[in-house]
Structure 1
Amino acid sequence: MNKYELDTPCIIVDRTKLLANINRYQAIADEAGITLRPHVKTHKTPQIARLQVEAGAVGVTVAKLGEAEVMADGGINNIVIAYPIVGQSKLERLVQLAKRVKLTVACDSYEVASAISEAALKAGMVINIWIEIDPGYGRVGVQPGESLERLAGALAPLQGIVVTGVLEFAGHSYDAQTDEERKSIAVHEAAVASSSADTLRGCGFPIETVSGGSTPVSRFASLMQGVTEIRPGTYVFGDLTQVQAGALEIEQCALSVLATVISRPAPDRAVIDGGTKVFTMDGEDSVLGTGRGYVIGHPEINVSWFNEEHGVLVLPPSEQGLKVGDKLEIIPVHCCAVVNMLDELNIVQDDLVQEIWPIAARGKVK
């Protein structure tokens, strides 16, 4: 089937670009002498996770326990949950998952760690813990220095867990405007992570892994002294946010949304069958001047605005021949959010649909 025969709106993934992105970031990690643990919240698809592991990834990172369960079901056996686990029902699921795979959980507080400790002891097991450090982003993460030392002292008596690593996420790298700024953030992130690992080692913890690296800074992995692995996610598909961050070129973006023109209410306006329930409103308008997306092959079209079910395109005179029924491929602002909105990935090569992969971890936010 030709991709333009697909019912819309739907997600298209270019297999050649997907594999090139996977291999490019694996090479970045390999050249830096560190491991790659991709964050699968971007694709939520075991088939892609397996491609990443086959290319050399040590395992995967997930955001939520539900994603971890899907990846385990899909054959991935080395998983880091980079998110605090809170609540009795989640702890029960965590213990069951830890019986199936090599599992590590991030936390930044005594409350989370002690609850995991109690659950692990009841189950007669030991669960790996990584302490999340805040490198300046201001989201979760214990502050380095005295706060980390106090947390280490509180965790030391706990049984049923073993602290074997630290991890960070420098999300402020997305606000950087130049590669020099991104390099500076990468170096600072690595320094904070490495020194925090040393702090924990000094408190008697057997720290083996120092984990960092978002997609915008992971390409500077060779500068991240002391880091032993990186956890980029969005690199696998790319989107307009990553193009803005310099992580890849627009031509390297592997994911697009195929949409159909369903109305031509004015010469300079067309409406497509995808709105916020497909593209979401996450992220900022494209720096390319194309609005809320980039129409492949039609760079002068502006993806102007969305409401729930409609996407409004502003057309220059050269594009006003667009007709109802025409189909357009649009690269979104943020691919991770789009993937969580739809059920399937249509895997395409040379414009032909080769496979359809269910987005098995879609909606797995618990």
Structure 2
Amino acid sequence: MMTSLVGQHVDALDTPALLIDRKVLLGNIEVIGASLRKLGTAWRPHAKAHKSPSIAHLLLEAGAHGITCAKTSEAEIYAASGIRDILIANQVVGPIKTRRLAQLARQADIAVAVDCLENALEHDAAAAEAGTSPRLVIEINSGMNRAGIDPGDDTVELAKRIVALKHVRFGGVMTWEGHTTTVVDPAAREQAIHDSLAPVLESVLAIQDAGIDVPIVSCGGTGTFRTTAGIEGVTEVQAGGGIFGDQIYRALGVPVQPALSLLVTVTSRPAPDRVIIDAGRKSLDPTAALPEVQGLSNVQSMSFSAEHGIINLSAPTADVRIGDRLQLLIGYSDQAVHLHEQFFVLDGNTVSSVWPTWARGRLQ
């Protein structure tokens, strides 16, 4: 931990260093939170991007009623920090994993996604052994064609079978309509979201018609929540990464600003039109979205090897020198944060906090 840097100027940081602009971060949280409050939909932000209990608690203070995780090991970190309402939005399969989750249910009110009876039975057996009662949430395929049971009769039957189990609780349903974010036209994207969620919500009504309560209907990431949260029947959204104002979300029209950046040092100027920096793929993964270089208007292209970033300029310049520092606005936080041990939180140019990313590397 580098808490000794608190109170110092940003220039005291070694590079690469992952920075959060506190004012912008809080502004983004308020934008998302205010939108959801207006629509009357609960917020269960996904924690897979930020990896930080400090941020998770900040979101709870801002009105979130729980969090979403990707893995049981992530959930363990957040439960240890005092968070109690946690949804693991993935299938947790096999005796090693289900026993681990059942034990975690001693510390927190855990919900976990299932999409078949076999997995539900595994959880029931593990819960019986541990003496706990985790919630099972049925993941429904809304068109992304990743995990998830088909909507309709199959979903209703699975809900009935879960309700009949003795050691788990039926928690509701979830889906992720992520495929709709590839629709470029905003109006067509909005319609695609409605079309994707319609069969899911019809399944919810069918489950309720069978006399089964559906407490959770969880959908919506940052790229879709402004539409999803306004659809009748949706109880909560999982939008989380948008708090950083990633470029991929701003490109979808989400009204957030960039709060996350990588401070880097120029290490070489081998040509007047090329800048080499000390951050490569071990500092950020540009696969989903390239970062944006602040203060350089003539960037033509960027590429990354393991330890180096290469910035090619459209015209020669002597303005950037070896030892200068640049800030790269992160394109997609999911593919950067997990590579760093902490965030350096800035108020202006002063380091005001250091927030560890305790949940990084938690892959099980």
- Find the counterpart in structure 2 of residue 287 from structure 1: none
Q: How far apart are the structure 1 equivalents of 2:61 and 2:316?
A: 45
**Unmatched tracts of structure 1, length 5 or more:** 285-291
Q: How far apart are the structure 2 equivalents of 1:35 and 1:190?
A: 17
1:21-56 deviation per Cα after TM superposition (whole angstroms, max 9, x unaligned): 111111111111110000011101001110100011
1:96-117 deviation per Cα after TM superposition (whole angstroms, max 9, x unaligned): 2111111111111112111001
Shift of 1:235: 0.9
Q: How does 1:26-105 map to 2 (within 5 A)?
A: 26-105=33-112
Change (3 A) 1:339 1:242: same
Name the stretch that deviates more: 182-191 or 302-311.
182-191
2:305 matched to 1:307? yes
Shift of 1:173: 2.6
Q: How far apart are the structure 2 equivalents of 1:140 and 1:297?
A: 42
Q: How does 1:209-228 map to 2 (within 5 A)?
A: 209-228=216-235
Which residue among 259, 274, 280 is the counterpart of 2:279? 274
- Find the counterpart in structure 2 of residue 22 from structure 1: 29
- Find the counterpart in structure 2 of residue 339 from structure 1: 337
Shift of 1:147: 2.7
Shift of 1:248: 3.3
Q: How far apart are the structure 2 equivalents of 1:301 and 1:5?
A: 27
Q: TM-score normalised to the size of structure 2?
A: 0.93
Q: TM-score normalised to the size of structure 1?
A: 0.93
Q: How far apart are the structure 2 equivalents of 1:174 and 1:277?
A: 27
Shift of 1:123: 2.2
1:5-34 deviation per Cα after TM superposition (whole angstroms, max 9, x unaligned): 311111000000111111111111111111
Shift of 1:300: 2.6
Q: How many pairs align?
A: 357
- Find the counterpart in structure 2 of residue 327 from structure 1: 325
Change (3 A) 1:97 1:81: same
Change (3 A) 1:66 1:347: same
- 8 Å CA contact retained: 1:182, 1:216: no
Which residue among 102, 121, 133 is the counterpart of 1:126? 133
Q: Percent of pairs identical after alignment?
A: 35
Shift of 1:302: 3.8
Q: How does 1:97-176 map to 2 (within 5 A)?
A: 97-176=104-183
Q: How far apart are the structure 1 equivalents of 2:243 and 2:301?
A: 24
1:288-308 deviation per Cα after TM superposition (whole angstroms, max 9, x unaligned): xxxx22012323324511111
Q: How far apart are the structure 1 equivalents of 2:110 and 2:317?
A: 52
1:99-142 deviation per Cα after TM superposition (whole angstroms, max 9, x unaligned): 11111111111121110011112223322111011111111111
2:346 matched to 1:348? yes
> What is the alpha-carbon root mean square deviation over aligned residues?
1.7
- 8 Å CA contact retained: 1:210, 1:229: yes
Name the stretch that deviates more: 233-242 or 217-226.
217-226
Q: How far apart are the structure 2 equivalents of 1:223 and 1:319?
A: 49
